[in-house]
Amino acid sequence: MIPQPRRTAATEGGGVPAGDGEVRRFVELSVPLTGFGAYDLYGTGMGALYLETARTQVGREQFAGFLDCWQDVLARGEGPSALSVVHREIARAVVYLWYTGFWPALAPAAHAELRRSEANKEVAASAESYPEGLVWRTFDGHPAGAKPPGFATWACEQDPLPSPERIVGQLKASRGSDPITPAPVYDPAAYGAGQVDDGVPLYLLSGPRVSRAVAPSEVSAADVQPPESLQAGE
């Protein structure tokens, strides 16, 4: 029997497979967003799939516009704070995708402005993307139920975590002579986390809420009135 090619978001659904040049650009622009070098991003084998996943969720033209704006921002030596609110939300989703293998639900206002027919919910890029998430590499862990450690690895001492100087050196090596812009301090309001203009309660907005000092599991259900601290966005 002749093996059939694996169907992915890059080959099914009528989408045009991403070319090598497009994937290379996407990976290079993802380096400053993820904090990982191009070598690590290519090593996941998910570049083409993640690019097509983002295009499916955001729209080909909209995502191309985001990449163009992000490239211009980097050329000026600036960071994500120079992007528009919608583009910052797309950038957050791209980082989430690389780290977890899932495309997250966007902030309702951003999803509405993109005018997409795709449901605004978290979706897996593929079955293979979960074990390839960058999050496991940040603490030398392994994805539960998908990629267990080898026999007797528990008896081996782990390598020490890399120093900040080493991480900066790796990023410089992956980006050539381009300057590395330090990541700005996270501002929840920049993602609309502190806005209620669209009528969506703060505690129901999607995306990370770094300003919230409670675990996600402790957040009230939609039909339960949340604590005053969550309503105030504190």
Task: Name the 3-class secondary structure at 103.
Answer: strand
Side chain identity at residue 168, one-letter code? V
Q: What is the pLDDT of residues 94-103, one digit of tens each?
A: 999 999 999 9
158-203 tens-digit pLDDT = 777 778 888 777 777 766 555 545 544 445 454 444 444 455 555 5
Average pLDDT rounded to a whole number, residues 88-110: 94
State both tokens at 68. 């163009």
Check residue 168 and give its pLDDT: 77
Which of 45-54, 128-137, 158-167 is predicted least confidently? 158-167
Element (H, E) at 102: strand 102-103
Question: Is the model's pLDDT at 144 over the cut of 90?
Answer: no
Higher pLDDT, 68 or 146: 68
Closest CA to 89 of 4, 206, 196, 200: 206
Contacts of 49 (CB under 8 A, 6+ apart): 8, 9, 10, 125, 126, 129
How many H-runs (helices) and E-runs (strands) does the chain carry? 9, 2
Classify 216 as helix, strand or coil: helix
More confident residue, 219 or 71: 71
**What is the structure's pLDDT at 226?**
54
Query: Is 59 exposed, middle or buried, given 0-12, 13-18 or 19+ CB atoms closer than 10 A?
Result: middle
Q: Encoding tokens for residue 24? A: 């290379």
| pLDDT > 90 fraction of the chain, expressed in percent and rounded | 37
Please give the pLDDT value at position 225.
56
Amino acid present at 22? E
Copy the structure tokens of residue 113. 């402005």
Specify the pTM. 0.62
154 — pLDDT class (breaks 50, 70, 90): confident
Predicted local distance difference test score (pLDDT) of residue 28? 93
61 vs 203: CA distance, rounded Å:
31
In the chain, where does DSSP find H-type helix? Answer: 20-34, 38-43, 47-58, 60-75, 85-100, 108-114, 135-138, 164-175, 228-231
Residue 163 or 234, more confident: 163
The mean pLDDT value of the chain amounts to: 75
Helix (H) or strand (E) holding 124: strand 123-124
Q: At what angle do helices 47-58 and 20-34 cross, to 10 degrees?
A: 90
Q: Which residue has the tokens 């020490």?
A: 160
pLDDT at 223: 52
